[in-house]
Each structure stands twice: as C-alpha cells, then as structure tokens.
Amino acid sequence: MLGEAMMSGIIMGSLFGAMAVGLTIIYGVIKMFNFAHGIIAILGAYLAWWLFSSVHLNLIGSIALSFFLMFLIGILIFISIIRVLLRTPRWPYSTIIASIGLGIFLENLLLQIFGPRIKSMPAFFESNIKVGGIMIGWHEISLIL
C-alpha cells in the first residue's frame, strides 16, 4: 500500500516537474510569468483525446498531431497577444493580466465544449513488472521517463 502511494507520488512529481520545466523555459526566454501554462497543456490533452476518440486516429498519431497543433496555437497566441504586450511600457503587468485572462477564458471554453466529466486515453503499454513487491506498469514508467 505504501509502495503504491510512493509510486503514484513519483509519477505525479514527474508530471509536475515537466510542467515546471516548461514554465522555467518560458520565463528564461522572454522573462514572462505565464499563468495560462497549465490550461494550455490541458487544451493539448483534450485535443489529443478528441483526435483519438472522435476522429479515430491511433494513439501515437493523435498525440503527435496534438503536439503539432498546440505548437501552432502557441505561435498564434504569442504573435497575437504576447508579442504585442511585450512592446508596451508596463509589459510585465500586462502579460500577467493577459495570461490570467486567457487561462480563465480557455478553462471555461473547454468546460463548455467537453463538459465536466473525466476523459481517458488508453495506456501506451499494458504489461506490469514487479519491483520490490510493488507492481509497476510499463505505462507508469513511460510517464516518469
């Protein structure tokens, strides 16, 4: 029981770490706090889920296409909102307010489109291994890596 809880914590910590690296890169490059970072990641996840469940792409194809589309959406957000605000004299405050507003807008838009229910995707790998008496799925190992 304790081992599974620790494994779950390692998995969640790995995912939070990946998000933190993204925030650090954004701040390191343009010196902007992006408060919409999490909801933009969720937009990518919903997009991958929609491509998999409605468009019926395979798992890898839906994730790859979601990455590409989110890259384009990120460029669009940067060109249409962030780059314009970075040219203003009080850009640190403007970009913070804009990213908070964008996050709120996207969160509510996704809630209206997809609803409040949890969505799921199939696991990459179905098999498990036993490490020290703890069953660990290859899917969980892939998430950590």
Each residue's pLDDT tens digit, 16-38: 999 999 999 989 998 888 999 99
Q: What's this model's pTM, rounded to 2 decimal places?
A: 0.84
Q: What pLDDT, on the 0 to 100 scale, is given for residue 50?
A: 96
Query: Rounded to whole angstroms, how far apart are CA atoms 56 and 54?
Result: 5
Specify burial of residue 96 (Cβ count, 10 A radius: 0-12, 13-18, 19+): middle
Each residue's pLDDT tens digit, 65-121: 999 999 999 999 999 999 999 899 999 899 999 999 999 999 999 999 999 998 988
